[in-house]
Structure 1
């Protein structure tokens, strides 16, 4: 059998796989034996016990009497919150800076270059410390809050802003927005099928805008069109009412976004330069201005170059959010650290962290690969 090259290759791969499993089995068994010898309990039963510690910020309801499982969920949602917002901001800032680096305006291109070289050559952790220091040390105390107008205040304790009063119309508008986005995407797909089959171009922009904006507005209006806002007011030693973004959250969000945006800018610039110059010249000969040529011709073709490395930056941003523990933002890592200190279940807590970050990274990769397949150029 080993005289056959294909059979020999399969045999060696199976042998290597068996060796890897054998080493893994030995390490796990040895670890469990050592833990048992030292009378260290192993398992995830602790997740059902009462956590007993406060979490400063939470996207879902939480109290110290809740379980460790609930505390991990709070940390997970906090991580997803800052990661998703960071991805959106980094993409927007990076795209603008990347385009600015290619501008014919000397000052704009030099400022964009200075931003990229500065941000990506300073360690992210140091940048987080700088942003956190700006909010906690340079901002005024609560009683001397900076009034930005419209009920928005900036203090050492964060950014306070108005928020709509609770009303059934707001959740309904949110669900209608999701429905409008789904219907708009379905309409765009139908318009593409009609164009490919018959050559007739159905209107796309206006119907999509009407669906995305009109459905939420209709749901909001149908349930009373509430406009009342709760404004933050200074009462005692702090503001009451409205919403607040903590210094930890703001420092982490700004730090992650501006740092990652420097890398995104270079990816966007490289993607645009990868498009043949003749494409832009052809667009200009058709009467398109520079903005239309960039939006309708260059960027769609540049996406095939931009998306793969952009996926890596999204993954980096999500994983870099674990640095939140350095400035006190209660993300998943911070919750896991507190849990380890209280329960001693270090192996289990670290396993949860690894599984969660691996799952998030795989989901981001799957989505970006799907999107890459949707926008890739089809060669004939």
Structure 2
């Protein structure tokens, strides 16, 4: 009886089945890894990471961090990561801003604005992203004029079929003080915003923390910059020969990728924003109107804070999709991680397994990191039942 009761115990069976499943999974992984290593050894191939110190021997057209042709494969991996993160961060910022605007436009009482926003979303989100990237690259940025006929945007920016050119800042001695002032100003703006929220909650009196924080972030570094003798020079792009020299430039592939990713992702973010706002009871708006609250303050302080509880979870998925969709840059030759690492480096070195494993590890790390940060914020804004 005791043995029968032990066998029939739900907890015992649960532990037993989990243990069996764990052993089976570990055994399967061990079999696949050992079998792969054996087969590669028979063909004279290596699955190790010793190739990372070998010189790559190829050039990369666009690099965010310093890179020379003779640098190692590991440096190529770092360049690919930096370029991919650059695209992901800039794309996420632009997509969020554009998605918020279009989401609010979808709820506008103006028929024209509402209809234009609807068609913007419906057309672009139902068109393949790869097609949009190719269209922007070959149909827009590759058709810009030659460098000698570049589009001059106030002498600050130049556009041509070889990219966009901007003046590059060159820090002088003493510029570190301005950077420290900027960090202190940002920290002060955050503290001011927290204090304003507590003041509003405790007394009901609002304080323009956004405007005050922006003024602090702009004025404090500017005053320190001027007091330290303006230790900053500018390297201006200038047409020399057949192209521009100096300054900072980005290739057409980068511009096309950013525009396509931002627009495509903004369509989904717009629908997320619209659904989040509509999830808030209309009684909240009516109550605010009855109390004489301005529509702009109603949206900022009443509707959006409640809507964020609905917006954040699907927004995480869109940021992750944008990061992974940046791998489509290989179609137009932008040197992201997939292009320089999974394509060029893999073809040269033949180390498929370590290269694929490192690429998968990077995307997993980014996805888990973004999910962790946004889930922390999501837990903070969840309603707590008492």
Bin of the TM-score, shorter chain as denominator length: over 0.9
Residues 301, 377 of structure 1: 8 Å contact kept: no
- Give per-residue Cα distances to partners, 1:319-370, cap 9 Å, x unaligned: 1011111111101111211111111111111000000000001110011111
Residues 115, 170 of structure 1: alpha-carbon distance in 2 compared, 3 angstrom cutoff: farther
Equivalent residues in 2 for 1:315-334, closer than 5 Å: 315-334=320-339
**1:77–1:119 CA distance, 2 compared to 1 (3 A):** same
Question: Is 1:50 aligned with 2:55?
Answer: yes
Structure-2 residue corresponding to 1:33: 38
The equivalences for 1:98-247 within 5 A come to 98-168=103-173, 170-190=175-195, 192=197, 199=203, 203=207, 204-205=209-210, 207-226=212-231, 228-247=233-252
User: 1:338-357 alignment to 2 at 5 Å?
Assistant: 338-357=344-363
Alpha-carbon separation, structure 1, partners of 2:327 and 2:180:
31
Kindly report which structure 2 residues correspond to 1:349-368, keeping only aligned pairs within 5 A, or say none: 349-368=355-374
* TM-score w.r.t. length of structure 1: 0.94
* Residues 259-298 of structure 1: CA deviation (Å, up to 9, x unaligned): 0000000000000000110111122222233222212211
User: How far, CA to CA, are the matches of 1:319 and 1:109 in structure 2?
Assistant: 31
Deviations along 1:232-269, one digit per CA (max 9) or x if unpaired, are 21110101122212101001101100000000000000
Give me the whole-angstrom Cα distance separating, in 1, the residues matched to 2:228 and 2:178: 9
- Between the aligned partners of 2:380 and 2:371, the Cα distance in structure 1 is 14
Residue of 85, 92, 100 corresponding to 1:80:
85
Q: How far 1:118 moved relative to its partner?
A: 0.8
C-alpha distance 172-262 of structure 1, shift in aligned 2 (>3 A): farther
Q: Deviations over 1:166-202 (max 9, x none)?
A: 3245554344333332333234335556776x65868
5+ long unaligned stretches in structure 2: 1-5
Deviates more, 1:226-235 or 1:152-161: 226-235
Is 2:378 the partner of 1:372? yes
Q: Structure 1's 170 and 330: CA in aligned 2 closer, same or farther, altered over 3 A? A: farther
Moved over 6 A (4+): none
Q: What residue in structure 2 maps to residue 2 of structure 1?
A: 7
Cα deviations across residues 121-144 of structure 1 (Å, max 9, x unaligned)? Answer: 000000000010134432111111
CA apart distance, 1:217? 2.0
8 Å CA contact retained: 2:330, 2:338 = yes
Superposed CA RMSD in Å reads 2.0
Quote the Cα distance in structure 2 between the aligned partners of 1:367 and 1:168. 36
Partner of residue 251, structure 1: 256
Question: 1:135, 1:156 within 8 Å by CA — same for their partners in 2?
Answer: no
Where does the alignment leave 5 or more consecutive residues of structure 1 unmatched?
none
State the partner residue of 2:305. Answer: 300
State how far apart, in whole Å, the 2-side matches of 1:77 and 1:168 are: 27
Would the aligned equivalents of 2:276 and 2:311 in 1 still touch at CA under 8 Å? yes
In structure 2, C-alpha distance between the alignment counterparts of 1:165 and 1:135, rounded to whole Å: 31
Do 2:152 and 2:158's aligned partners in 1 also have CA atoms closer than 8 Å? Answer: yes
The structure 1 residue matched to 2:27, chosen from 22, 27, 49, is 22
Matched residue count: 379
Larger displacement relative to structure 2 (2-11 or 86-95): 2-11
Residue 3 of structure 2: aligned partner: none
Equivalent in 31, 41, 66 of residue 71 of structure 2: 66
